[in-house]
Amino acid sequence: MLQRFTQALIPTVKETPAEATNASHILLMRGGFVRQIGAGIYNFLPLGLRVLRKIENVVRQEMDRAGAQEVLMPALLPGEYFKETGRWDLYGDVLFRIRDRKGGDYHLGPTHEEIITDMVRREVKSYRQLPLNLYQIQTKFRDEPRPRGGIMRGREFTMKDAYSFDVDEAGALKSYENMRDAYRRIFDRLGLTYRIVQADSGAIGGKTSAEFQVLADSGEDAIVACDACDYAANVEAAEIGQTPPGPEFPKEETREVHTPGKGAIADVAKFLKVNAKRFLKSLLYVTPASDAHPQGEVVMACVRGDHEVNEIKLANALGVREVHLATEADIERATGANVGYAGPIGFAGRVLVDPGGAELTNAVTGANKTDYHLMGVNLSRGDYKADVKDIRSASEGDPCPRCAARGESGKFKAYKGIEGGHIFILGTHYSSKMRATFLAQDGSEKPIVMGCYGIGISRLVASAVEQHHDADGIQWPQAIAPYHVHLCTLGTEPEVMQAAKGLCDALVERGIDVLWDDRDERPGVKFKDADLVGLPWRVTIGAKTLARSECELKARSNRDPKGHELLTLADAPEAIAVKLGMGR
RNA sequence: CUGGGUGUAGCUCAGUCCGGCCAGAGCGCCUGCUUCGGGAGCAGGAGAUCGCAGGUUCGAAUCCUGCCACCCAGACCA
């Protein structure tokens, strides 16, 4: 189609909006794609909506191709469904709750597992009706504690969510793999650089799950990927390969050293002139209250001084839902010392130690006595009793678990990612709670085995910009650019306008979408706006080139301001079509 | 939720400490002239309940109290 700039609402602005901090937010605002109307709430202007629709259509095509069927569930939901699975309470403040005129509980949908499960349990009775894969593209609502990054993390956002229904685990796994393949095609087609990473599946359901992480320095998620094989994982979930044993040092006697006023590892390391890597960092955590521990259990987590405790792994290792860092008072009560002097030796409670800490020889750690540390500590000698468990976050340089298992030496590289998609097998978590069952071939009643698969459509708009931009503006991948060609006419002479119209018609006839900047503006203004809006190809027609029946073609990705080629007006349509892969 | 910050023209900001010219600038917008290949020049013009409510004062954008909104860091994120 052809859109004339003079008839469009494309309010580009020169100045950086005060509230925008990251590149995508700034450029989407400046380019006139979106406007904020509240915290985490945005208008999509015409250009922004076109990008959103392009992404939706790619997703739709690939979901349909994968055998999924599109449905549409309401955004406004009666509370009873979430109450049925307990998420009415579990979701807490993130749920946007509403009352109707009769005082009934309603909420805006943050996700739709319950509703789809209800849809299916009403209709599906037999194994003959399975497997089934249903998806929707719908607006979701989450009252995020802190929306940020423009449409990157909004409180209202567009999401594609799909749900698979199978007769057994094997079937669910097949559905899962089918979706993973579909997601690969989607992310490839969108022109995004991404990694499929192993993820923590969170509190609800699933052992098998993967995130599609769009790589970008501004991403909120830390991920590690092996430099030798294709293993990649969220640092929260990354397994860590065994390090080969280092050289043996003679074990020293454990001894107490006076370290007055030095609590922090960096300070003690400097004071004792010992590398932080030789420290055993001891942190105290409290588990949620349970029958055995009505006040919660205080446990010690030990890692090497330069490593970080991973609370998710720690909670998993302890078999509890979550853990919280102990308060100062708890620490003093549990260790009998000020904060900064905790250590495993002589600690009364349970101690978990990471393998990296356990293998330390002659380590330094707190003495559970204010102003004192211990040197020459060795777990291998039996200086203290601890469960050795992987409880730390992976970081750059750690050995890859897959490679290590094969005796190879792949190492992690660290990346930042934006979670663009998340797939996982839910099992029967929802179906058993909601009695979504079917009659199997043998006549028995079984819960349906489910999977769920999300893609943050509006987030991908921002992700694409994060990955494809320069100092002047956006550089849309062709598949999601709002238009293919940005036509700049210089001057408004009838001949120029006529030639431009002719070119537009020829392009449109080939299925090419054109934004024609027909404004009476100076060339500089038009070029700046073209760079900002970021369509993949720019065509320029001015009196000079027109005199030779020529126009200019320049790729947005070409950084050379004069990096254009001359085409005759007659050849231009087909030449451009060929560039776009839309030639005849 | 904790801590910090900001609300003045469509946008970006100055003015607020230390109350008193008429509430300012740049960009954008409108009119005219000139200009026309990387955000032009000149001249003229429109545009503001200074976030809201209350208070102090002869007088409040400025001081006090309360509220609201937005941003940033963290916590949080099926």
Nucleotide nearest to A491 (CA to C1'): B36
- For B76, nearest residue by CA–C1' is A145
Reported as a single tens digit per residue, the pLDDT across A406-449 is: 989 999 999 999 999 999 999 999 999 999 999 999 999 999 99
**What Å value separates CA A414 and C1' B3?**
30
Q: What is the CB neighbour count within 10 angstroms for residue A110?
A: 20
The Cα–Cα gap between A494 and A321 comes to 72
**What Å value separates CA A236 and C1' B32?**
66
- For B69, nearest residue by CA–C1' is A38
**What Å value separates CA A521 and C1' B34?**
15
Residue A4 lies in a domain: no
Q: Which residues pair with A438 in a beta bridge?
A: A446
Confidence check: pLDDT of A566 > 70: yes
**What Å value separates CA A339 and C1' B62?**
46
Q: What is the pLDDT of residue A201?
A: 58
**What Å value separates CA A248 and C1' B35?**
81
Q: What is the pLDDT of residue A269?
A: 85
- Asked if A355 and A323 sit in the same domain, the reply is yes
CATH number of residue A505's parent domain: 3.40.50.800
Nucleotide nearest to A30 (CA to C1'): B11
**What Å value separates CA A410 and C1' B13?**
52
Residue A496 lies in a domain: yes
CATH number of residue A34's parent domain: 3.30.930.10
Q: Which positions of strand B lie within 7 Å of protein CB atoms?
A: 1, 11-13, 26-28, 35-40, 69-78
**What Å value separates CA A565 and C1' B33?**
37
Nucleotide nearest to A205 (CA to C1'): B78
Radius of gyration for chain A, computed over Cα atoms and rounded to the nearest angstrom: 29
Structural domain harbouring A271: 255-388
- Asked if A227 and A328 sit in the same domain, the reply is no
The Cα–Cα gap between A27 and A471 comes to 10
Residue A395 lies in a domain: no
Residue A406 lies in a domain: no
Nucleotide nearest to A159 (CA to C1'): B78
- Compute CA A280 distance to the chain's CA centroid, rounded to the nearest angstrom: 32
Q: Please tell me the least confidently modeled range out of A47-56, A220-229, A380-389, A519-528.
A: A380-389
Beta strands in A370-484 (DSSP E): 372-377, 387-388, 412-427, 437-439, 445-447, 449-456, 469-470, 473-474
* Greater pLDDT, A222 or A512: A512
- Asked if A427 and A383 sit in the same domain, the reply is no
The Cα–Cα gap between A467 and A477 comes to 10
- For B75, nearest residue by CA–C1' is A145
**What Å value separates CA A20 and C1' B18?**
34
Residue A120 lies in a domain: yes
Q: Using pLDDT thresholds of 50, 70 and 90, give the confidence band for residue A584.
A: confident
* H or E stretch at A44: strand A41-44
- Asked if A61 and A172 sit in the same domain, the reply is yes
Q: Using pLDDT thresholds of 50, 70 and 90, give the confidence band for residue A481.
A: very high
Nucleotide nearest to A422 (CA to C1'): B78
**What Å value separates CA A526 and C1' B43?**
26
Nucleotide nearest to A540 (CA to C1'): B37
Mean pLDDT of A261-280: 84
* H or E stretch at A488: strand A485-489
Nucleotide nearest to A521 (CA to C1'): B36
CA distances from A195 to A9, A31, A402 (A): 36, 29, 16
Alpha helices in A352-428 (DSSP H): 355-358, 401-405
- Asked if A437 and A381 sit in the same domain, the reply is no
Q: Using pLDDT thresholds of 50, 70 and 90, give the confidence band for residue A51.
A: very high
- Asked if A425 and A339 sit in the same domain, the reply is no
- For B78, nearest residue by CA–C1' is A204
**What Å value separates CA A51 and C1' B12?**
28
Q: What is the pLDDT of residue A291?
A: 78
Coil vs helix vs strand at A238 = coil
Q: What is the pLDDT of residue A308?
A: 86
Reported as a single tens digit per residue, the pLDDT across A306-333 is: 888 888 888 888 888 778 888 777 888 8
CATH number of residue A278's parent domain: 3.90.960.10
Q: What percent of chain A has pLDDT over 90?
A: 68
- Asked if A42 and A138 sit in the same domain, the reply is yes
- Asked if A165 and A304 sit in the same domain, the reply is no
Q: What is the pLDDT of residue A202?
A: 55
Residues in chain A: 584
- Look up tokens 């597992």; give the residue: A113
- Asked if A70 and A182 sit in the same domain, the reply is yes
Instruction: Please give the ipTM for the structure prediction.
Output: 0.95
Confidence check: pLDDT of A263 > 80: no
The Cα–Cα gap between A180 and A166 comes to 16
How many independent structural domains does chain A possess?
Answer: 3
The Cα–Cα gap between A110 and A95 comes to 7
The Cα–Cα gap between A143 and A39 comes to 10
- Asked if A282 and A377 sit in the same domain, the reply is yes
Q: Is A423 within 8 Å of A179 (Cβ atoms)?
A: yes
Confidence check: pLDDT of A118 > 90: yes
Q: Using pLDDT thresholds of 50, 70 and 90, give the confidence band for residue A339.
A: confident
The Cα–Cα gap between A258 and A371 comes to 6
* Greater pLDDT, A236 or A178: A178
The Cα–Cα gap between A3 and A244 comes to 63
Reported as a single tens digit per residue, the pLDDT across A12-33 is: 999 999 889 899 999 999 999 9
At residue A185, φ and ψ (nearest 5 deg) are: -65, -40
- For B1, nearest residue by CA–C1' is A145
Reported as a single tens digit per residue, the pLDDT across A173-224 is: 999 999 999 999 999 999 999 999 988 755 444 568 899 999 999 898 999 9
Mean pLDDT of A343-351: 89
Q: What is the CB neighbour count within 10 angstroms for residue A258?
A: 10
Mean pLDDT of A108-134: 97
**What Å value separates CA A156 and C1' B49?**
32
Mean pLDDT of A548-571: 94
Q: Quote the mean pLDDT of chain A.
A: 92
CA distances from A149 to A36, A153, A154, A340 (A): 11, 6, 8, 36
| Cβ partners under 8 Å of residue A204, min gap 6 | A87, A426, A429
Residue A198 lies in a domain: yes
- Asked if A49 and A120 sit in the same domain, the reply is yes
Reported as a single tens digit per residue, the pLDDT across A447-457 is: 999 999 999 99
| Cβ partners under 8 Å of residue A467, min gap 6 | A192, A193, A214, A215, A216
Nucleotide nearest to A324 (CA to C1'): B75
Nucleotide nearest to A454 (CA to C1'): B78
Nucleotide nearest to A520 (CA to C1'): B36
Residue A10 lies in a domain: no
Mean pLDDT of A156-171: 97
**What Å value separates CA A9 and C1' B10?**
15
Alpha helices in A93-157 (DSSP H): 113-123
Q: Using pLDDT thresholds of 50, 70 and 90, give the confidence band for residue A334.
A: confident
Coil vs helix vs strand at A31 = coil
**Among the three residues A353, A388, A423, which one is the final residue of a domain in this structure?**
A388
Nucleotide nearest to A15 (CA to C1'): B12
Residue A448 is classified by DSSP as: P
- Asked if A267 and A232 sit in the same domain, the reply is no
**What Å value separates CA A522 and C1' B40?**
8
- For B39, nearest residue by CA–C1' is A525
A313: left (phi over 0), alpha (psi -120 to 50) or beta: alpha
Q: Using pLDDT thresholds of 50, 70 and 90, give the confidence band for residue A295.
A: confident
Q: What is the pLDDT of residue A5?
A: 97
**What Å value separates CA A18 and C1' B8?**
15
Residue A311 lies in a domain: yes
* H or E stretch at A248: none
Q: Is A457 within 8 Å of A59 (Cβ atoms)?
A: yes
Burial bucket for residue A347 (CB in 10 Å: 0-12, 13-18, 19+) = buried
Q: What percent of chain A has pLDDT over 70?
A: 99
